[in-house]
Amino acid sequence: MTARRPSLAVVGATGAIGGVMLQILSQHADVWGEVKLIASPRSAGRKLVVRGEESEVLELTEDAFDDVDVALFLVPDAVSAQWAPIAAAKGTVVIDDSAAFRLDPDVPLVVPEINPHAARIRPRGIVASPNCTTLSLIVAVGALHAEFGVRELVVSSYQAVSGAGRDGVAALREQLSMVAGTELGTQPGDVRRALGDTDGSPFAAPVALNVVPWAGTEAGEGWSSEELAIREECRKVLDLPSLRVAATCVYVPVVATHSMSVHARFENEIAVDRAHEILATAPGVVLYDSPGAGDFPTPSDVVGTDPTWVGRVRRSLDDPRGLELFVCGDNLRKGAALNVAQIAESVAAEFPRV
Ligand SMILES: NC(=O)c1ccc[n+]([C@@H]2O[C@H](COP(=O)([O-])OP(=O)(O)OC[C@H]3O[C@@H](n4cnc5c(N)ncnc54)[C@H](OP(=O)(O)O)[C@@H]3O)[C@@H](O)[C@H]2O)c1
């Protein structure tokens, strides 16, 4: 018996996540039959390479989902909200990387290392993949939770500009080219004045020579949408509706790979040696933790790799149930395209053998 190779559509193939997805499809074991590339009318007719062959980008239309078994949605929230139900109504299983369905109770939110079983129950025909900040920390926290029982997370992020898509990367590159080699960064507001109108920048303040403590939109009572997303998504994936989470999300001038400083508090007292053992053997995690020897994860070393890297693991000085750690994960790989690809490959395995 051989497996029927299901057909695949990549919706948003021309975007930041779409580009990484095309690389992953060329690198992973090939479980797919036909692969269609789809984007907006702006990109229709463009040629992109996937699995070593050129393929023409199609415009997103209802007909584009004819004979498509699985569709990966790597598009803005509004596009997913409109088109994922249309694809699902045609019998296509949708794996959605946007925020449109993540908190829908009828849509599973899946991290294959933590809750793979959830991907099989999909009343709306849609499976959601978490936000890149959630994904950059949850694989490590989930492994510790399985033994110690997590009760609270206090998280500060150092987020890469590609978290804001192609426009984020373009804004950082443009701003860096304007400030490089200048004396800027020594007087209040001088960087902002030199950059003038940061037209097209998705950031609320200059991101070159700066850090920006605001990601997403206003979500009420001073919180940003990105901060609340970490809270709600960690609760849903870990199935811990009362998990206490306080996140502060900050953009930094890094192209790709989100970093996070995490204070995790557990139900049980922490043996730090055991925490090291768990992290050293957890699927999808690399423990890199000899700070005296300069061994700790940084975005410039982690970028382009698949796992969540963890370092600076130490027991909280004033709380025997607390653990401090520093995590780095490539927001375009595990934080987005890789997690979507892993979910899709598990769905592909459901297709009948013929
Ligand atoms: N960047 C991250 O780190 C990250 C992580 C996790 C999740 N996500 C989510 O993943 C999704 C894609 O993000 P991204 O960073 O790849 O964005 P991006 O670089 O801006 O790319 C957006 C993609 O969506 C397509 N698109 C836009 N409007 C469309 C329309 N009306 N019809 C069809 N296609 C349309 C674009 O096609 P054209 O080229 O034709 O415009 C492009 O392929 C977003 O929902 C984002 O929130 C991103």
CATH number (domain holding residue 122): 3.40.50.720
Testing ligand 1's pocket by substitution, the residue of 10, 20, 21, 40 carrying the most ligand atoms inside 8 A of its CB is 40
User: 153 by DSSP, 3-state: which?
Assistant: strand
What is the per-residue pLDDT for 1?
Answer: 58
Task: Count the domains in the chain.
Answer: 2
**Domain range holding 138?**
134-331
Decide if 328 is catalytic: no
Residue 2 in any domain: the answer is no
Residue 99 in any domain: the answer is yes
Residue 276 in any domain: the answer is yes
Residue 36 in any domain: the answer is yes
Question: Catalytic one among 132, 234, 249, 328?
Answer: 132
* Binding pocket residue ranges, ligand 1, CB within 6 Å: 12, 14-18, 39-40, 42-43, 60, 74-77, 79, 97-98, 131-132, 162-163, 165-166, 331-332, 335-336
- Spans of the chain, pLDDT less than 70: 1-3, 198-199, 353-354
Sheet holding 244-248, edge to edge: 244-248, 150-158, 258-266, 322-329, 308-315, 285-287
The answer on 302 and 212 residing in a single domain is yes
Q: Closest Cα partner for 313 from 281, 290, 292?
A: 290
Close Cβ partners of 82 (under 8 Å, ≥ 6 residues apart): none
The answer on 49 and 154 residing in a single domain is no
The answer on 343 and 302 residing in a single domain is no
Q: Which atom of ligand 1 is closest in space to residue 135's alpha carbon?
A: 6
What is the per-residue pLDDT for 198?
Answer: 64
What is the per-residue pLDDT for 200?
Answer: 78
The answer on 184 and 139 residing in a single domain is yes
Close Cβ partners of 249 (under 8 Å, ≥ 6 residues apart): 133, 157, 159, 213, 214, 215, 216, 224, 226, 227, 230
Decide if 249 is catalytic: no
CATH number at residue 223: 3.30.360.10
Distance (angstroms) between ligand 1 centre and the Cα of 320 equals 43
Instruction: Give per-residue pLDDT as tens, 292-332.
Output: 999 999 999 999 999 999 999 999 999 999 999 999 999 99
The answer on 341 and 327 residing in a single domain is no
Q: At 49, list the tokens.
A: 């390479």
Q: At 285, list the tokens.
A: 């995690």
Residue 107 in any domain: the answer is yes
Testing ligand 1's pocket by substitution, the residue of 74, 110, 258, 303 carrying the most ligand atoms inside 8 A of its CB is 74
The answer on 147 and 24 residing in a single domain is no
